[in-house]
Amino acid sequence: MAQLTFREAIAYGLAQEMRRDSSVVMIGEDIGAAGGVFKGTVGLFEEFGPVRVRDTPISEQAILGAAMGAAMTGLRPVAEIMFSDFFAVCWDIVANEIAKSRYMTNGQVSFPLVIRSGNGGGLRFGAQHSQSIENWAMMIPGLKVVVPSNATDVVGLMAAAIRDPDPVIFLEAKALYPTKSEVPDGEVVDTLGSAKVLRSGPDATLVALGAMVPRANAAAAELAEQGIDCTVVDVRSLVPLDTQTILREVSATGRMFTVEENPRLCGWGAELSSIVTEEAFYDLDGPIVRITTPHIPLPAADALEDMAIPSVERIVETVVKSLNS
């Protein structure tokens, strides 16, 4: 078992799948000899060469157009959009072509491709390079959306995404790139659409995603010191969504708090709140509470960015206030 950073786990997971399947290829800006702008593809160019690890010009439309064509002709491309904000530049290809073409061809053409991207804030990159766009992606029929929170899940979910017959948006929280966790030896393959319960407690359920998962865990530890014992659920996959696990854990505690980095309006927690209200209303002991980033462009100033994104302190304060009201 190896200790890997989140960014090392990306290259580890990609290499695992590229060694296993020669149809897996990579395409994106600076992913070759440079090893990726966030150093998530270090060593892959040297091992697999320029045919399977292809650098591109600065053109998101060209990257995804090429990836779509490659998937249609039998390859399994992994395309990189450097910052998830830049999906806005190529959204037509994602939403109108990649997501819909299998349906529109009645299954005659499949699109086994993965689009990975650095997502979210916390690194002072400003409003155009810090957005959390998981809510953009999950609203498009035909796309699967995966958001790992640790190195182990990066490897396993990457394998599952590459092997899936449908297009998968694989969002990597930039703030997590330097964090470390253990990755098992041998082949690691996970399952899309499966949430994980990270800790159990009877008082409330904290449901978190991506970079908010370690913050929810830390908040739960602080709350335990105050006598509030919380369950923490890592959603991991928004589409497909593991509603069974989430509903079970929320029903057990009677209280749900979502911890979301995305802006509040139309965030994934709003959809989850709707599902829980419809399916488990009579198991709730109080209102669902969403802890989110405000509906604002994310500031670059460190103090303002820290204030906007949910912090451990805000999670603790919100849970204590809600349970005591």
Contact 84/133 with Cβ under 8 angstroms? Answer: yes
Q: How far apart are CA 239 and CA 108, in angstroms?
A: 23
Contact 128/181 with Cβ under 8 angstroms? Answer: no
Q: What is the pLDDT at residue 97?
A: 96
Q: What whole-number percentage of the chain has pLDDT above 70?
A: 100
Residue type, 202: P
Separation of first and last alpha carbons in the chain: 46
Residue type, 125: F
Element (H, E) at 45: helix 44-52
Sequence ranges of the chain with CATH classification 3.40.50.970:
2-183
The token duo for 193 is 């659409």
pLDDT digit string (tens) for 195-233? 999 999 999 999 999 999 999 999 999 999 999 999 999
pLDDT digit string (tens) for 279-317? 999 999 999 999 999 999 999 999 999 999 999 999 999
Neighbours of 34 (CB within 10 A): 13
pLDDT digit string (tens) for 251-283? 999 999 999 999 999 999 999 999 999 999 999
Q: How far apart are CA 6 and CA 119, in angstroms?
A: 13
Q: What whole-number percentage of the chain has pLDDT above 90?
A: 99
Dihedral, 157, 160, 163, 169 alpha carbons, nearest 10:
-50
Contact 289/257 with Cβ under 8 angstroms? Answer: yes
pLDDT digit string (tens) for 51-97? 999 999 999 999 999 999 999 999 999 999 999 999 999 999 999 99
- Tokens 């696990």 sit at which residue? 245
Cis previous bond, 240, omega within 30: yes
Q: What is the pLDDT at residue 180?
A: 95
* Assigned fold of 196-324: Rossmann fold (3.40.50)
Report residue 325's pLDDT band, with 50, 70 and 90 as the boundaries.
confident
Tell me: domain 2-183, CATH 3.40.50.300, correct? no
Q: What is the largest CA-CA distance in the chain?
A: 61
Report residue 1's pLDDT band, with 50, 70 and 90 as the boundaries.
confident
Residues annotated as catalytic (active site), given as ranges: 60, 129
Say if strands 237-239 and 144-146 run parallel, antiparallel, or are unpaired: antiparallel
Q: What phi-psi label fits residue 265: left (phi over 0), alpha (psi between -120 and 50 degrees) or beta? A: beta
The token duo for 139 is 């609203």
Contact 315/257 with Cβ under 8 angstroms? Answer: yes
Contact 232/208 with Cβ under 8 angstroms? Answer: yes
Mean pLDDT of the region 133-147? 97
Q: What is the pLDDT at residue 134?
A: 96
The mean of the pLDDT values for the chain is: 97
Check pLDDT > 90 for residue 177: yes
Mean pLDDT of the region 182-193? 95
Sequence ranges of the chain with CATH classification 3.40.50.920:
196-324
Contact 208/196 with Cβ under 8 angstroms? Answer: no
